[in-house]
Structure 1
Amino acid sequence: MTRSLRSAVISLVGITLGGCVSMAPTYERPAAPVAANLPGGTGGGRALDVPWRAFIREPKLQQVIQQALAQNRDLRRAALNIESARAQYRIQRAQALPSIDAVAAITSVRTIVGEDNAAATSTLYQASVGLATWEIDLFGRLKSLSEARRESLLSTVEVAKATRISLIAETASAYVTLAADRSRLVIARDTMESSKRTMDLIEQLVGGGTSNRSDAWQATTVYQQARADVGLLTAAIAQDRNALELLAGGPIADALLPDVLPEQLDWFADVPVGLSSAVLLERPDVLAAEHDLRAANANIGAARAAFFPRIALTANLGSASTELSGLFASGS
């Protein structure tokens, strides 16, 4: 490539990078239809600054949540979605760069020459390098597509954060539900034993003639209802454990499962009151929706640019020689 051609290419690159425009509309965040602050609020700080371990104080519950964060399948899928979106963004961004092709070939030809039919072999060495294609992004089509992929990647990241937060909340809720049902089972068993003693006592009174049969039937009904409650709660506890282990991504050790709810439930820290409604704008699901909106905004620019002609450059530089040592020599 001569010096003048090299200078022309460099100048064209500079014009391209500096002259391309985006035809996407200017993005403006929609105003939130809520008040900036709740009336009568006295608290302060930001809820998102509090790590989950500072809010959830129960040590066994912390270990269960840690297991869920390490093994939950939905969280793994969210991480893989991030990698997929990142790869798609890199592919789209690479389309704005020139595509270079290089080819090397050796061709041997055997011919019969002379009256004695002697065989002669000639070898041709070839090498070429070329600019396969390079779209000059004058109207910002590739830039808008790359921006849309970038916003989609950021949206996927926020969705993964929202999945993580939801997993922590659902695991804590399932843990408390299991503890509550176990507390109810203890009460139901006490009720069943008490109704059993009452039923036996009334049966004795009926046998002694100091009570009637209707009282015995009523006591039996109360006892049978208590037995049914115990059975229902036993089944509910099994379902609660299955749901918790599904969130945790595998079996949970018995030592980490709750017994009953304590009289003073101090497993969680108090939530501050009086927070600004701006905290809602930092929720991952809200941020993901905004990134999706930005991606759609960038796609509008790409669609507008598609109405204009595309300019693509191609070039090729090659050399051929009958000797390998002279392949790159002057004049080959």
Structure 2
Amino acid sequence: MTKSFTSKSLTSVTALAASLILSGCLSMAPNNERPQTSIEHSFGQSNRQDSGQKLEAQDAAFTLEAWQDFFPDANARVMIEEALESNTDLRIAIARMAEVEGRYQIQREDLFPSISGEVSQTRTKNSANVFTLPGVDSIQDIYSANVGLMSYELDLFGRVRSLNDAALAQYLSSAEAARSVKLSVIAQTANAYYSWISAYRSLNLAEKTLKSRQESLDLIQKRLDTGIASELDLAQAQAALATVSAQKAQFDRAHAAAKSALELLIGKPLSAVNFDTEQLKLAAMAIELPDNINSEVLLSRPDVLSAEQNLYAANANIGAARAAFFPSISLTGQYGYSSTEFDNLFDSESKTWSFMPSIRIPIFNNGLQANLDIAEAQQQRLIAEYEKAVQQAFSEVYQLMANRSTYGGELDANRSLVKAQSKRLQLAEAKYKAGLASYLEVLNAQQDQFTAEQALLETERAQLANVISLYKALGGGDKAVTYAPKKDAESMDTKAQSSGVTE
């Protein structure tokens, strides 16, 4: 009678468990929703004020190219690829992502029954001082072969499912964090490469200027020897030469520092990198952006997505903490064969089984409430961190776009200034040679031309840095990404596709 009742109970419980697995379980976690953030709807003209009226402009779609296509300079691509292969921060991030993925896989196994098989032999020697039946050997062998269900919890209230969701969200967060590190490596390496080129060009300019000052000094020395120039002219030329010589020493240090920074990022000396040394130039890069961009593009940035997944993990942890207040049912069972003789181990008479359902009911456990309080506090902290990430992203993109709109005019002005200073220097030299002006006027023109040429180089470098930073801030990566404004007012999802992270 007992055996019959147990078999029916086993069948009923097994059916209930299968039904729960197939139909899902109750979840006590809060709904995953993006927090609302107080930022402007868009970047661009609609944010500008005109006579107290806000200009309304329709958000437009735009595409960010993959980084391999975004950088037209083959040397820059080579440097970035070298950095991605050797950068320790990226390797750490990828390893951390693999670690979190492993924890997720372990946690996921709790959703399904764990079945294990075991075949064993046990040899036992009974004590001679213990009563044994006549004819029974004091040494006994027991052979067994079993298949067991290892303490499977029926997830009636979603505790296990919530823990699995939390582990999954943490893995996705780590993947976005790795993508963020990769994007930072790309931007840092590109900026370091162009900083090195800019320093190289500045050094060349200083060397060219130093040569020009030396030629001027030699000319004045000859004019002095013939009685045309004065001792004052010679002293002024010598001072100008010394000034440029000191500036060249500064550019030497800046060039060495830029080279060292680039080598640190790529993980090897530049001499070990195969790149075209004849094509060292500040390449022209541009991001084609419409006048108005929907600020939802920020929701696809890896740092924002990572913060969002961390928030979802906190929601799932709240669900698990809430479910812990309710009873939990665990199933443990075993079916197999056991015999003292190996030859008849698998006979029908050798069958053995056991079934041990258990229920745990929390009665007095203050730790459960403390765990729930901790989970809810973590959720509030992560909501604030998500809002902060979005606000910082908006501020970063807004500033970079504002800078972008001014560099064109600054470059044009500096080019015009260099042209004007060159003309001024020619006229000053002609006047000096004709005896119509002092050499001081030539020196001032030379210094102003050198300063103007340096300013032009700095502006070109700053514009490149701004474009690269804007590309990173908008979430560029391994794939071409198209951003489009939402068509449904209730939809908060962008059309962007996240870039992957590969080793």
Q: TM-score range by the shorter chain?
A: 0.7 to 0.9
- Alpha carbons of 1:271 and 1:173: their partners in 2 closer, same or farther (altered >3 Å)? farther
Of the three residues 134, 137, 160, the one matched with 1:142 is 160
Equivalent position to 2:288, from 256, 266, 271: 271
Does structure 2 conserve the Cα–Cα contact (< 8 Å) formed by 1:42 and 1:273? no
Q: CA deviation at 1:108?
A: 5.2
Pair 1:235–1:120, CA change in 2 (3 A): same
Q: Deviation at 1:294? A: 1.0
Among candidates 4, 8, 16, match of residue 12 of structure 1: 16
CA distance in 1, matches of 2:142, 2:281: 86
Which residue identity does 1:45 align to in structure 2? A
Cα distance change, pair 43–34 in 1 and its aligned pair in 2 (3 A):
closer
Cα separation, partners in 2 of 1:330 and 1:44, compared to 1, 3 Å: same
**CA distance in 2: counterparts of 1:283 and 1:303, whole angstroms:** 30
Mapped partners of 2:139, 2:187: distance in 1: 78
TM-score by length of 2: 0.57
Change (3 A) 1:47 1:230: same
**Residues 105 and 127 in structure 1, CA contact (< 8 A), matched pair in contact too:** no
Q: Pick which of 205-214 and 274-283 moved more.
A: 205-214
Q: Distance in 1 between matches of 2:148 and 2:279?
A: 72
Amino acid at match of 2:14: I
Q: Which residue matches 2:276?
A: 256
Q: Which residue of 1 aligns with 2:62?
A: 46
Which of residues 171, 180, 189 in structure 1 aligns to 2:198?
180
Alignment of 1:43-122 (within 5 A): 44-48=60-64, 50-103=65-118, 104-107=120-123, 109=125, 122=140
Note the alpha carbon deviations across 1:130-159, whole angstroms, 9 max, x for none: 333122222211111110110111111112
Q: Given the superposition, is the C-alpha separation of residues 255 and 150 from structure 1 closer, same or farther in structure 2, using an over 3 Å criterion?
A: closer
Please tell me whether residue 34 in structure 1 is matched to residue 40 in structure 2: yes
CA drift at 1:110: 8.1
CA distance in 2, matches of 1:23, 1:132: 26
CA–CA distance in structure 2, aligned partners of residues 42 and 318 of structure 1? 71
Aligned alpha-carbon RMSD (Å): 3.1
Answer whether contact 1:54 1:269 (CA < 8 A) is retained: no
| 8 Å Cα contact 1:144-1:299 kept in structure 2 | yes
Amino acid across the alignment from 1:242: S
- Which residue pairs with 2:189 in the alignment? 171
Q: Residues of 2 paired with 1:235 and 1:330: CA distance?
A: 88
Q: CA deviation at 1:82?
A: 1.9
For the residue of structure 1 that corresponds to 2:349, the secondary structure is: coil
Give, in whole Å, the separation in 2 of the partners of 1:157 and 1:233.
Answer: 41
Rounded to whole Å, the distance in 1 between the matches of 2:322 and 2:10 is 33
Using the TM superposition, name which of 102-111 and 295-304 deviates more: 102-111
The answer as to whether partners of 2:143 and 2:339 remain within 8 angstroms in 1 is: yes
What's the CA shift for 1:325?
2.3
1:228 matches 2:208? no
**Equivalent-residue separation in structure 2 for 1:188 and 1:273 (angstroms):** 40
One-letter amino acid matched to 2:18: G
Q: Which moved more, 1:126-135 or 1:253-262?
A: 253-262
Q: What CA deviation, in whole Å up to 9, does each residue of 1:29-77 have, x standing for no partner?
A: 12342214633668843334x2123221112222222222333322222
What's the % identity of the aligned pairs? Answer: 35
SS of the residue corresponding to residue 62 of structure 1 reads helix
**For residue 123 of structure 2, what is the amino acid of its counterpart?**
T
Structure 1 residues 89 and 180: CA distance shift in structure 2, 3 A:
same
Matches for 1:148-227 after TM superposition, within 5 Å: 148-203=166-221, 213=231, 215-227=233-245
CA distance in 1, matches of 2:176, 2:148: 42
Distance 2:126 2:106 in 1: 45
Bigger relative contact order, structure 1 or 2, given CA contacts below 8 A and separation 6+? 1
Q: Deviations over 1:177-198 (max 9, x none)?
A: 1111111111111221222233
Quick check: 1:134–1:314 contact (8 Å CA) kept in 2?
yes
* Residues 126 and 54 of structure 1, relative CA distance in 2, 3 Å threshold: closer
Contact (CA 8 Å) 1:123, 1:323: kept in 2 or not? yes
Structure 1 range deviating more: 131-140 or 120-129: 120-129
What does residue 307 of structure 1 align with?
Answer: 325
- Specify the alignment match of 2:338 in structure 1: 320
* Alpha-carbon distance, 1:125 to partner: 2.2
Whole-angstrom CA distance in 2 between matches of 1:61 and 1:42: 36
What is the letter of the counterpart of residue 316 of structure 2?
A
Alpha-carbon distance between aligned partners in 2 of 1:330 and 1:258, rounded to the nearest angstrom:
85
| Structure 1 gap ranges (5+) | 113-118
Q: How far apart in 2 are the matches of 1:258 and 1:65?
A: 19
Deviations 1:6-38 (A, max 9, x none): 532431213433363111111221234221463
Change (3 A) 1:130 1:5: farther
Q: Is the 8 Å Cα contact of residues 100 and 130 (structure 1) preserved in structure 2?
A: yes
Higher mean displacement: 314-323 or 178-187 = 314-323
Q: Alignment partner for residue 23 of structure 1, among 21, 25, 28?
A: 28
**Aligned equivalents of 1:270 and 1:324: distance in 2?**
77
Relative to structure 1, the CA distance from residue 120 to residue 289 in structure 2 (aligned partners, 3 Å threshold; closer, same or farther) is: closer
Aligned to 1:327, the other structure's residue is in SS state coil
Aligned-partner SS, 2:61: coil
Please give the secondary structure, in 2, of the residue aligned with 1:47.
strand
Aligned residue pair count:
323
* 8 Å contact kept, 1:178–1:258: no
